[in-house]
């Protein structure tokens, strides 16, 4: 005998008191036009509609022509046929015959070539352990950083002894993923003048999925109100660094051609300096404004990219919001985001 289970009574808003029947009953769970239910409706021809939300345990397909990718597993039904079942909550993405599920939220998974912002966790004899918000901490070998006094200098035992003068615990750096081992643990490198220690700015974290992959993850943004230029390092891992613009060493080298002698001069102790430069109050205000724009965009579930950041910043300027925390203030944040989205639709 199948047992019939009565669904719980809908939520009655506290405080409405006696006039429940007047409409104090919140039926959002039942009456909201729910996509999930429509997925089963005959209006959708194919159940494998890309972009549809699937949840763990949901049958994705039992058609044997599909291969299973990330976020799915094979389950054998009673009659021996195999079907692909989702193991995550997310959207289906199809690449030729490969079905995979992209989760709604996930931890950063390093890939070779990613630009990441990281924090030093531990100093070892010949390497550093770096937190990059991935399941495993990354390693940065002493041999994969730019040593002061020239890019092509050989690593010596003196450098090993002085390892803490380059990076010590808690230091922030921007680096690139060089290799991955079989566990998915990343090894980083900073052998370019674009990478290295971070200073003169603020750090913030967002979900890794909120950073859109772009051609360049280092943006230089001209700001208003006498703020000068601001550098934004959008780590693919969801770590973000917003700092006062420093004349890039690589720019300088580019002008005069890559000359080793020049690099030798530039890549001196200064790049591992722990002292902030003088930052004017105007620049500080603009840095915090950009930080708020990023937080407001993330709050509204909008992926961060250069275009949205610029539009959001413009909108924030028009609203003339100063402050340090309207990014998490939903009302102000929402206004900025809506204005930015309106601008994007116009262009």
Determine the Cα–Cα distance for residues 334 and 342; give it in Å rounded to an integer.
12
What is the rounded distance in angstroms from the CA atom of residue 77 to the CA atom of residue 28? 35
As given in the structure block, the two tokens for residue 286 are: 């603009």
The distance of closest approach from Cβ of residue 136 to another protein in the complex, given in angstroms and rounded to an integer, is 6
* Segment near another protein (CB under 8 A); pick from 110-118, 202-210, 229-237, 252-260: 202-210
Q: Judged by CB, which is closer to another protein: 5, or 320?
A: 5
Q: Which of residues 299-338 bind another protein (CB under 8 A)?
A: 300-303
Per DSSP, the three-state class of 247 is coil
| Closest distance of CB 236 from another protein, Å | 16
Q: What's the CA gap between 162 and 166, in Å, rounded?
A: 7
Nearest-angstrom CA–CA distance, 287 and 297: 16
21 binds another protein (CB under 8 A): no
**Whether the Cβ atoms of residue 208 and residue 262 lie closer than 8 Å to each other:** no
Tokens of 89: 């909550």
Write the DSSP string, 294-333: HHHHHHTT--B-HHHHHHHHHHHHHHT--SS-TTT-HHHH
Candidates 24, 25, 48, 53: give the one binding another protein (CB under 8 A). Answer: 53
Binding mask 93-132 for another protein (x = CB under 8 A): ----------xxxxx-------------------------
| 57 counts as binding another protein under rule CB under 8 A | yes
Residue 73 touching another protein (CB under 8 A)? yes
Work out which of 90, 118, 196, 201 binds another protein, going by CB under 8 A.
90
Per CB under 8 A, 36 contacts another protein: yes
Q: Which of 240, 124, 250, 256 is nearest to 191 (CA)?
A: 250
Q: Considering only residues 144-163, where is the footprint of another protein by CB under 8 A?
A: none
**Nearest to residue 209, comparing CAs of 131, 305, 292, 289?**
305
Alpha-carbon torsion angle 224, 227, 228, 230, nearest 10: -100
The residue from 23, 64, 135, 254 that contacts another protein (CB under 8 A) is 135
Q: Does 137 bind another protein (CB under 8 A)?
A: yes
In the sheet that 82-86 helps form, which strands lie side by side, from edge to edge?
A: 59-61, 82-86, 72-76
- Using an 8 Å Cβ cutoff, are 203 and 241 in contact? yes
Q: Smallest gap, in angstroms, from Cβ of residue 70 to another protein?
A: 9
Q: Which of 56, 64, 226, 323 binds another protein (CB under 8 A)?
A: 56
What φ, ψ does residue 62 adopt, rounded to 5°? -115, 10
Q: Minimum Å distance from CB 115 to another protein?
A: 20
Residue with smaller CB distance to another protein, 2 or 17: 2
What's the rounded Cα separation, in Å, for the pair 105 and 211? 12
- Which region among 52-60, 143-151, 283-291, 318-326 touches another protein (by CB under 8 A)? 52-60
Residue 218 contacts another protein per CB under 8 A: no
**Which segment (151-159, 227-235, 284-292, 294-302) binds another protein by CB under 8 A?**
294-302
List of residues contacting another protein (CB under 8 A): 1-11, 29, 32, 34-36, 51, 53, 55-57, 71, 73, 85, 87-91, 103-107, 135-137, 183, 205-207, 298, 300-303, 341, 344
């Amino acid at each position: 005998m199948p047992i019939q289970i009565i669904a719980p009574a809908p939520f009655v808003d506290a405080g409405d008191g006696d006039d429940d029947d007047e409409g104090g009953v919140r039926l959002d769970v039942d009456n909201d036009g729910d996509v999930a239910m429509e997925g089963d409706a005959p209006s959708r021809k194919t159940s494998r509609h890309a972009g549809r939300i699937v949840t763990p345990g949901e049958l994705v397909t039992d058609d044997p022509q599909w291969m299973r990718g990330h976020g799915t597993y094979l389950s054998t039904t009673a009659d021996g046929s195999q079907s692909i079942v989702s193991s995550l909550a997310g959207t289906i993405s199809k690449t030729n015959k490969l079905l995979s599920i992209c989760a709604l939220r996930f931890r950063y998974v390093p890939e070779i070539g990613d630009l990441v912002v990281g924090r030093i966790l531990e100093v070892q004899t010949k390497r550093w352990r770096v937190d990059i918000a991935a399941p495993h901490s990354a390693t940065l070998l002493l041999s994969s950083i730019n040593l002061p006094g020239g890019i092509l200098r050989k690593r010596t035992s003196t450098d090993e002894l002085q390892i803490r003068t380059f990076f010590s615990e808690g230091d922030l750096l921007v680096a690139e993923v060089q290799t991955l081992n079989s566990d998915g643990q990343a090894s980083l490198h900073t052998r370019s003048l674009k990478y290295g220690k971070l200073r003169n700015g603020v750090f913030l974290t967002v979900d890794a999925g909120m950073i859109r992959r772009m051609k360049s993850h280092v943006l230089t943004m001209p700001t208003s109100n006498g703020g000068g230029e601001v550098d934004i390092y959008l780590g693919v891992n969801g770590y973000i660094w917003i700092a006062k613009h420093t004349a890039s060493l690589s720019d300088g080298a580019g002008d005069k051609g890559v000359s080793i002698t020049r690099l030798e001069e530039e890549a001196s102790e200064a790049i591992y300096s722990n002292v902030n430069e003088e930052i004017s109050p105007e620049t500080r205000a603009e840095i915090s404004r950009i930080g708020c724009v990023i937080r407001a965009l993330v709050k509204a579930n909008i992926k961060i990219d250069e275009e949205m950041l610029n539009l959001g910043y413009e909108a924030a300027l028009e609203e003339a919001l100063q402050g340090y925390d309207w990014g998490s203030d939903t009302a102000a944040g929402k206004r900025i985001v809506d204005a930015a989205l309106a601008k994007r639709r116009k262009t």
